[in-house]
Amino acid sequence: MKKFPPLWISCVPLIILVALISCVVSVFGDETLAGASQIALMVATACCVSIGLLTRHIVWKQFEDAISEKVAGISQAIIILLLIGALGGAWMVSGVVPTLIYYGMEIMSPQWFLVSSCIICAIVSVMTGSSWTTVATIGVALLGIGQALGFGEMWIAGTIISGAYFGDKISPLSDTTVLASSTVGTPLFTHIRYMMFTTIPTFVITLLIFCFEGLTHTPAMTDHILVVQETLQNTFFISPWLLIVPVVTAIMIAFRLPSMVVLFLATLLGALVAVFVQGDLLDHIAGTDLTGFAQRFRGSLIQVYGSTSLDTGVPELNDLVATRGMSGMLSTIWLILCATFFGAAMTVTRMIDSIMLALLRLVRGTVSMVASTAFTGIFLNIVCADQYLSIILTSTMFGDTYRKNGYEPRLLSRTCEDSATVTSVLIPWNTCGMTQSSVLGVSTLAYAPYCFFCYLSPLMTILMAALGWNIVRKPFAEYSMTNKAVDGPKE
């Protein structure tokens, strides 16, 4: 295939997808991700494949190969998703999360809860380099604390995600940070320092918004907080000793063990703790006439792979301590696979290239170039449903344009992070959006308006371009892409 398809043809699958998703959301509401959105993605994929077969003369084998390649690329993410589901079940039933909630309610002030949560998640994410791990561990506990203090789950999820993606964006341990800098050819710490010009102002604005909401928030009654704490004590064994589990997990993270290893060992540790200190709960979860070891063994496995529900006597607390385990992640994986199919079809037919070429024609100056780059990162998050692919494609498409116009590579790498990295979590069918929605139990469309850091970041990068702040242009000859550094500054 020697040329791109016409722009209007390239937009057809995307228009169909947007139209179907809109209908799905209006009809299914909170249940859109249970299957309807997946079907919408499959229909859009079928449309894209049909156009490719009938008008672009692409053979079916090319689609099969592309899908196989894309699915192989997300295999690690699928394993991590299953482990996150297992971790959530083990840490809840073992009493680790209830213990964090119990003591967190004692030390966290309601007025400063939102700001504190955002900062805590930011620190943890910078240390771990992973927004997913941050949300799945400390984020789940903060969600419970915030609900007990009377905050809406959308606001709490917004603070957690804003903080987590702040760290994911600037941490030298983050795979997205390394990917954005290495793909463009910017030294890692040069890239991180340059991002501070947009990231710090955005984060400060985000904290001010959360501060205002916290100070104007009507805190939950003291009696309500005491009821929650008493109920947690009556349902679970609560002890400071249980905090050893997250402490050990933090130590493993500090030693930079792989995410899958950390999540697996943290799950195993939580499951073992449950056997020794929450035996009655495991017996209840087992739900059979078995006795002794068999019943305890059955309950231990169910807490990891299946759904659990405990009657605490407080309906809102029942929802909080309910878990879905690994099985609860299957809808997420289903959605990610369908989104991957759509992205593969759009790539093989080169419809993405056609749309991106049209965007490149709009570039006239610094502002339009940065705005086009940011929009492309967001657009690819929507179409490809994967932040890594969005970063790679955006940096690749705009690399020559930036160099030929004399812009520093760090401007491109920063713009990619300010758009592709942080907006992925706002797309319901994106791997990040679906993952965080499943982990927190809050729909993507519900928490998205409150993730201020995530959608203010691309606006801030465009604003800085308009102001021309610290944007340097040099002759094209001074730039070379032959030396790509990812381990540190080589200036």
- Which of the residue ranges 110-119, 381-390, 433-442 would you say has the lowest mean pLDDT? 381-390
Does 210 reside within a domain?
A: yes
- What was the pLDDT predicted at 253? 74
Average pLDDT over residues 140-150: 84
Cβ atoms of 286 and 299 within 8 Å: the answer is yes
Torsion region of 266: left, alpha or beta (phi above 0 gives left; psi -120 to 50 gives alpha) = alpha
CA-CA-CA-CA dihedral for 96, 97, 102, 107, to nearest 10: 100
- What would the pLDDT profile of 166-223 be if each residue is shown by its tens digit? 988 888 767 788 778 877 888 888 888 899 999 999 999 999 999 999 888 776 666 6
- What was the pLDDT predicted at 146? 87
- Which of the residue ranges 69-78, 238-247, 444-453 would you say has the lowest mean pLDDT? 69-78
Give CA–CA dist 95/302, Å, rounded.
Answer: 16
Highest mean pLDDT, choosing among 124-133, 285-294, 328-337, 423-432: 423-432
- What was the pLDDT predicted at 475? 53
Cβ atoms of 336 and 385 within 8 Å: the answer is yes
Is the model more confident about 160 or about 329?
160
Does 50 reside within a domain?
A: no
The mean of the pLDDT values for the chain is 83
Does 366 reside within a domain?
A: no
Does 457 reside within a domain?
A: no
* DSSP per-residue string spanning 162-219: HHHHHHHHH-TT-HHHHHHHHHHT--HHHHHHHHHHHHHHHHHHHHHHHHHHHHH--P
Asked if pLDDT for residue 110 goes beyond 60, the answer is yes
Average pLDDT over residues 306-325: 79
Asked if pLDDT for residue 129 goes beyond 90, the answer is no
Does 48 reside within a domain?
A: no
State the residue range of the domain holding 151: 76-328
- What was the pLDDT predicted at 400? 74
- What was the pLDDT predicted at 462? 93
Q: Tokens for 217?
A: 């928030």
- What was the pLDDT predicted at 487? 37
Q: What is the pTM of this model?
A: 0.72
Question: Would you call 28 exposed, middle or buried from its count of C-beta atoms within 10 A (0-12, 13-18, 19+)?
Answer: middle
- What was the pLDDT predicted at 484? 41
Helix, strand, coil share (%) of the chain residues, nearest 5: 80, 0, 20
Cβ atoms of 331 and 372 within 8 Å: the answer is no
Strand partners, 174: none
Number of domains into which the chain is organized: 1
Highest mean pLDDT, choosing among 57-66, 274-283, 422-431, 448-457: 448-457
Q: Which of 101, 420, 127, 82 is nearest to 254 (CA)?
A: 127
- What was the pLDDT predicted at 219? 66
Average pLDDT over residues 151-168: 92
Give CA–CA dist 395/416, Å, rounded.
Answer: 7
CA of 443: how far to CAs of 22, 41, 144, 333, in Å?
A: 15, 18, 16, 16
Does 135 reside within a domain?
A: yes
Give the SS3 label for residue 68: helix
Cβ atoms of 403 and 410 within 8 Å: the answer is no
Asked if pLDDT for residue 224 goes beyond 70, the answer is no
Give CA–CA dist 208/203, Å, rounded.
Answer: 9
- What was the pLDDT predicted at 220? 62
* DSSP per-residue string spanning 305-368: HS-B----S-HHHHHHH-B-TGGGGHHHHHHHHHHHHHHHHHHHTTHHHHHHHHHHTT--SHHH
- Which of the residue ranges 112-126, 198-212, 447-461 would you say has the lowest mean pLDDT? 112-126
Does 400 reside within a domain?
A: no
Does 12 reside within a domain?
A: no
